[in-house]
């Protein structure tokens, strides 16, 4: 749930409260005077990263793996179709020829 900042117009009290996104600002009760004349203030967005999570780390890892695999595949011969049979030297007989 996000934290919102409010200003009570009845007692001029400024306070913060955690509310769901669906909560109406007009129905918010001031903790000091219990009035419902609060208005929501614009505040700065704050984010806290917990642990070792880095934004975009999974995407970077996926692209690195893709580059690594692509470099391995570039070393393989091209897959154009079936392997061609070698051309026999002149005068040699091939199996299946009846003479």
Q: With a cut of 80, say whether residue 97 has pLDDT above it.
A: no
pLDDT the model gives residue 80: 64
Q: Has residue 83 got a pLDDT over 70? A: no
Query: Which pLDDT belongs to residue 33?
Result: 92
For the stretch 17-66, pLDDT in tens is: 888 888 888 888 999 999 888 888 887 766 666 666 666 666 777 788 88
The H-or-E segment that residue 3 falls in is strand 3-8
In this prediction, residue 78 carries a pLDDT of: 63
- What is the rounded CA–CA span in Å between residue 77 and residue 30? 73
Q: What is the structure's pLDDT at 72? A: 75
Query: Which 3 state secondary structure label does DSSP give 15?
Result: strand
Measure the CA–CA gap between 51 and 55, rounded to whole angstroms. Answer: 12
Q: Beta partners for 4?
A: 17
- Indicate the pTM of the whole model: 0.44
User: What average pLDDT does range 66-93 have in this prediction?
Assistant: 72
Task: List CB contacts of 99: < 8 A, sequence separation 6 or more.
Answer: 93
Token pair 């009846």 is at which residue? 98
């Amino acid at each position: 749930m996000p934290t919102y900042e409010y200003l009570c117009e009845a007692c001029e009290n400024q306070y913060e409260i955690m509310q769901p996104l669906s909560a109406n600002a007009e129905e918010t009760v001031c903790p000091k005077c219990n009035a419902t004349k609060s208005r929501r203030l614009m505040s700065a967005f704050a984010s806290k990263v917990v642990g070792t999570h880095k934004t975009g780390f999974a995407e970077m890892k996926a692209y690195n793996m893709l580059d690594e695999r692509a470099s391995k595949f570039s070393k393989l011969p091209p897959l154009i179709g079936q392997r061609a049979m070698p051309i026999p030297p002149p005068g040699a007989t091939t199996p299946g020829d009846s003479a």
